[in-house]
């Protein structure tokens, strides 16, 4: 299926926001890259801020859906689910790395209810990881002498940081990076 005009505007804006910055990229720049008029832009978005909000909601909704799919699988250990969430987070970089990088850079341009909604969804993603860890602690798969909240922050932090350096076409694949990270988090570095 052909992408809709709305999808095209979002896709081209992501590239433009990443290369030029949100403040520097004007609506005129966006419509110029697509060969359409400002009228077309305003048919879909009331402002550049609304476009940025939509880009971020698209990204976080995709991440939450994928995570939910992993969590709901029957007959999997909590260790397996944690390891799949780690892999999913790193795999998303190829398709959605730009959205993630824009998010952290341009967060201060999203305000009010939009910001609250995006923050709530991002918190939900983290709390779901925390819940995997808590349930793994209860089931006896994971040690329960560490605070699950901090463990979730450390794992998600390491994975999210991949957005700053991981190159999908580099010497390590997303699967290899995820395997090393999972092994580190589960069994540690000490001999």
Residue 127 as a binder of its own copies (CB under 8 A): the answer is: no
Please count the other Cβ atoms lying within 10 Å of the Cβ belonging to residue 1: 4
Of 68, 138, 168, 184, which one interacts with its own copies (CB under 8 A)? 184
Residue 147 as a binder of its own copies (CB under 8 A): the answer is: yes
Q: How far is CA 6 from CA 13, 150, 174, in A?
A: 11, 39, 30
Query: How far is it, in rounded angstroms, from Cα 148 to Cα 152?
Result: 6
Residue 156 as a binder of its own copies (CB under 8 A): the answer is: yes
Residue 183 as a binder of its own copies (CB under 8 A): the answer is: yes
Question: For its own copies, which stretch binds (CB under 8 A), given 2-10, 28-36, 60-68, 153-161?
Answer: 153-161
Closer to its own copies by CB, 46 or 143: give it. Answer: 143
> Tokens 């290369």, residue?
19
Residue 190 as a binder of its own copies (CB under 8 A): the answer is: yes
Query: How far is it, in rounded angstroms, from Cα 149 to Cα 134?
Result: 9
Residue 15 as a binder of its own copies (CB under 8 A): the answer is: no
Closer to its own copies by CB, 10 or 133: give it. Answer: 133
Are 128 and 71 within 8 A, CB to CB? yes
Question: For its own copies, which stretch binds (CB under 8 A), given 1-9, 19-27, 37-45, 91-99?
Answer: 19-27
| Vertex 70: Cα angle to 167 and 178 (nearest 5) | 30
Contacts of 118 (CB under 8 A, 6+ apart): 53, 56, 57, 60, 103, 110
Residue 79 as a binder of its own copies (CB under 8 A): the answer is: yes
Residues found near its own copies in the complex (CB under 8 A) = 19-21, 23-24, 79, 104-106, 108-109, 133, 136, 140-143, 146-147, 150-151, 153-162, 164-165, 172, 177, 180-181, 183-191
């Amino acid at each position: 299926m052909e992408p809709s005009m709305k999808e095209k505007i979002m896709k081209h804006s992501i590239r433009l926001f990443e290369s030029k910055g949100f403040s520097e990229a004007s609506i005129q720049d966006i419509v110029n890259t697509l060969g359409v008029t400002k009228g077309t832009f305003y048919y879909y978005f009331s402002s550049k801020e609304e476009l940025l909000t939509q880009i971020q909601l698209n990204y976080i909704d995709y991440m939450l859906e994928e995570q939910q799919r992993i969590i709901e699988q029957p007959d999997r250990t909590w260790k397996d689910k944690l390891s799949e969430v780690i892999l999913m987070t790193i795999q998303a970089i190829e398709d959605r790395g730009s959205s993630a990088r824009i998010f952290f850079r341009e967060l201060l341009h999203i305000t009010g209810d939009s910001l609250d909604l995006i923050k709530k969804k991002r918190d939900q993603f983290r709390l779901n990881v925390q819940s995997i860890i808590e349930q793994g602690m209860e089931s006896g798969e994971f040690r329960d002498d560490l605070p699950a909240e901090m463990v979730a922050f450390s794992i998600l932090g390491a994975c999210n940081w991949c957005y700053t350096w991981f190159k999908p076409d580099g010497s390590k694949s997303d699967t290899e990076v995820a395997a090393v990270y999972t092994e580190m988090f589960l069994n540690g570095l000490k001999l």
